[in-house]
Amino acid sequence: MKHSDYATFNLLNQWLNKNQQAWLVTVLEIWGSAPRPVGSLMACNDQGETIGSISGGCIEEELIEKLLDTQFTAQHSAHPMEITYGDTVQEQERLQLPCGGQLKLLIEPFLPINHHKDHCQHILKALGDRSSIERIANTNNNDKIATPTPTRPTVLFHNGTLKQTLGPHSRLLLIGAGPVSLQVAQLALALDYEVEVCDPRPRYAQQWSNKDVSLTREMPDDVVRDRYSDKYCAVVALAHDPRVDDMGIMEALQSDAFYVGALGSARTSEKRKTRLFQLDLNDSQIESLHAPVGIPIGSRTPAEIAISLMAELTLVKNQTRVKTQKQDSPQLTLMSEQA
């Protein structure tokens, strides 16, 4: 499964190859509440076909009508333009924007020309290879550039230039095919993760019932080493069996995964850390383990544990992104921090 950014550029590329004009809409800034974050994308072609979302449905219909209006497109077919929704009380009520929210969008025309096709293909190649790529769009001339970058996803807008870093899809490996994994997988899919479950134990593997999540019976450390070792990956051990959990955890703690967690009580977690120390992991690696996993909400049932776990995972992911944004681009306006 490819995530939303890949799917958006893939369909955009298909439209251009069919000689259709299209537009890419990016959320630049939000004020108040908004159902979609800064950097969200939506694309629309000249037939009214769309992909993606920039407001969860509040303004998409009106925006599409605007893009398909020949008078509007005649005036704005050559250059990107900024547009703000919800800047008056009347407009907020008419569009039913939540909590008096406002959002600023950048609308970029994409034409069926080689320059714009190449732009899409460079992005698709990078995301397909699980690499980050920075795309630059100039509102004055509709020039578009895409270059590799090591940074995490960001959205920066300064003096009419958009700099947007797109990164690979976040992946989540769940070790153990039990009831907690079933609930975690459901939430993770809703949060746009690629999810895979790993369990070499035949009885548990045979009981896995979520057909939307693939299950592998490979050994967890091999799975981590093969496809869950980059900085866009998270690994969580939920098997409650040290023979299954520990090797996967050990491998993940030595990788670039942004989150490694393990289910268990405080006592169980301390025993696990002692075992990991005996396996020659250093103090820094062991201390990076989130165990007991999740935030303390008094969870008891598999569903409650899943909420606790995904809340902590989301917190760590967002903190990592904001920290990286501040380090990488201090000189430009960081739109998401103004929301």
Q: What is the pLDDT of residues 125-139, one digit of tens each?
A: 999 888 899 999 988
Nearest to 241 by CA among 196, 211, 210, 275: 275
Give the range among 151-160, 197-206, 320-329 with minimum mean pLDDT.
320-329
| Residues 189 and 228 placed together within one structural domain of the fold | yes
| Number of separate domains in the chain | 2
pTM of this prediction?
Answer: 0.77
Q: In terms of C-beta density within 10 A (0-12 exposed, 13-18 middle, 19 or more buried), how is residue 81 classed?
A: middle
**Average pLDDT value for the chain:** 86
Q: How far is CA 247 from CA 90, 226, 275, in A?
A: 59, 14, 11
Kindly tell me the sign of the dihedral angle through the C-alpha atoms of 258, 262, 265, 271: negative
The answer to whether residue 326 scores a pLDDT higher than 60 is no
Span 185-220, pLDDT tens digits: 999 998 989 999 999 999 998 999 898 899 999 999
Q: How many CB atoms lie within 10 A of CB 176?
A: 24
| Residues 118 and 183 placed together within one structural domain of the fold | no
- Look at residue 226 and tell me if it is in a domain: yes
Q: What mean pLDDT do residues 229-250 have? A: 94
| Residues 51 and 200 placed together within one structural domain of the fold | no
| Residues 285 and 298 placed together within one structural domain of the fold | yes
Q: How far is CA 73 from CA 21, 37, 50, 97, 315, in A?
A: 10, 26, 17, 25, 41
| Residues 271 and 229 placed together within one structural domain of the fold | yes
| Contact (Cβ atoms closer than 8 angstroms) between residue 305 and residue 263 | yes
- Residue 212 belongs to domain with CATH number: 3.40.50.720
Q: Which residues pair with 252 in a beta bridge?
A: none
The one-letter amino acid code at 227 reads R
- Residue 95, pLDDT score: 53
| Residues 185 and 243 placed together within one structural domain of the fold | yes
pLDDT tier for residue 30 given thresholds of 50, 70 and 90: confident
| Residues 139 and 178 placed together within one structural domain of the fold | no
| Residues 279 and 194 placed together within one structural domain of the fold | yes
- Look at residue 332 and tell me if it is in a domain: no
Its domain, for residue 115, covers: 4-166
